[in-house]
Amino acid sequence: QVQLQQSGPGLVKPSQTLSVTCVISGDTVSSNIAAWNWVRVRQSPSRGLEWLGRTFYRSQWDHDYAPSLGSRITINADTSKNQFSLHLTSVTPEDTAIYYCARARVTGLAFDVWGQGTVVTVAS
């Protein structure tokens, strides 16, 4: 079955770049129908789920990002490693959260597979 395995640093200093990677097994990042998403949940104060963005391949790579993140976010894919990554620049303590990767088996449909989550704390 499809599995997503996340990795990334637990602690990032303010103003630096947060990077989290999601390795895919059982599917292909360059699938012509799936989309690969990032979602986070900030803990303090307790907030709900927040969609950050996605990447997908349809004869070329495309992506959509949450406007709230402006130009700080990049999501890219590495086909040689069958993985995709989230990069968030100029982080502040407001970016402290659990970050999840998730697959939409068909672009536009629900997230049917999730990674285990990566706790990221932004602090000096």
Partner 1 sequence: DIVMTQSPLFLPVFPGESASISCRSSRSLLHTNGYDYLDWYLQKPGQSPQLLISVGSTRASGVPDRFRGSGSGTDFTLKISRVEAEDVGIYYCMQALQTPYTFGQGTKLEIK
Interface with partner 1 (CB under 8 A): 37, 39, 41, 48-51, 54, 64-68, 100, 102, 104, 108-112, 114-117
Closest distance to partner 1 from the beta carbon of 37 (Å): 8
Contact 12, 34 (CB under 8 A): no
Residues contacting residue 78 through CB under 8 Å, at least 6 positions apart? 29, 84, 85
Closest distance to partner 1 from the beta carbon of 80 (Å): 26
**106 to each of 31, 91, 110, 118, 122, how far by Cα in Å?**
10, 31, 8, 24, 33
Closest distance to partner 1 from the beta carbon of 43 (Å): 12
> Which CB sits closer to partner 1, 66 or 89?
66
